[in-house]
Each structure stands twice: as structure tokens, then as C-alpha cells.
Amino acid sequence: MEKRILGLDPGLAILGFGAITCTQISHKVQETTVNMLDFGVIRTSADVEMGQRLCTLFDDLHTLMEELQPDLVAIEKLFFYRMSSTIVVAQARGVLILVLGQRRLPYVEFTPAQIKQALTGYGNADKSEVQEAVARELDLDDIPKPDDAADALAVALTAWFQV
């Protein structure tokens, strides 16, 4: 049985995505393999007005869902650090949740600490430790770039560990 999980690292300027496939060879949990399917980012330009940027996210997310056909979507929860940027990211997340609702796709959310805990065993791990864990879990020679895509793969892996 194969399951496709799409991880998303929400943002307005850069929205990271990372898709993995999990294949259960038998009924034993130990006999499950995970492979990277795709990763990348959706970018919007700060030179474009907000409504158009959100439309770009909307259209590109629909295209992404069509191409990757995920069974489950995992999203990084908002982390509040600067109110102005948090509001902008929240608007992008709203578009993301709308697309998932329109496609009737189930989703789960994880805090940054939950993702760090799942991948490194330590909820306060730094970014490089999480990225190294992503490369190790997916048997990659290099850490995926840009960081937003690596973060999205970390979210997808967290969902895989939880299901």
C-alpha cells in the first residue's frame, strides 16, 4: 500500500512544498519505506499587489495538488514572531486551507517544536539538525534547497512518523 504525503511550509513570498511516498511492504511497521517524490517552492513577488499574490498561490496550489495527488497534507503551524509578517503568512495559510477544502483533502498540522522533536528527538533542535535528518531519512546525498523546501519535507516526514 502506498501513501503520498505533501508537506507545506506556508509563506506568502515563498511557500515550500515537499512530497514523499510511503510504501508499506507488509503489515509490520518496520517494513515501510519512504522516498522523496518532489520538492520545491511557490514564489510570489513583493512587487505585485496582495490580491494577485494570493491568486498566484491559489492557482499554483491547485496545480500542485493535481500533479502530486496527495493522500494527506501536512502543514507547519504558524509561529508568532513579528505581528506584521504573521498576518501575511496567515493570509497565505487561509488560501492554502481553502484549496485543501475545495479538494476535500485531509490535513494535519504540526508546530515547529513537534517537527524538530519528530526528526531529531529534540524539540529545540536547530535548523541544520532538522535538515540533516531530512537528508538522512530520505537517503539523499545533499540537503534539499532552498530551506523552505527542506522544511516542507520535514513536515511531510513528521506526518509519516505520526500515521
Question: What residues are annotated to the active site?
Answer: 9, 76, 148
Residue 121's SS3 state is coil
Residue type, 79: F
Other C-beta atoms closer than 10 Å to the C-beta of 136 total 11
Alpha helices in the chain (DSSP H): 50-68, 83-102, 112-120, 127-137, 147-162
User: What whole-number distance in Å separates Cα of residue 71 and Cα of residue 103?
Assistant: 11
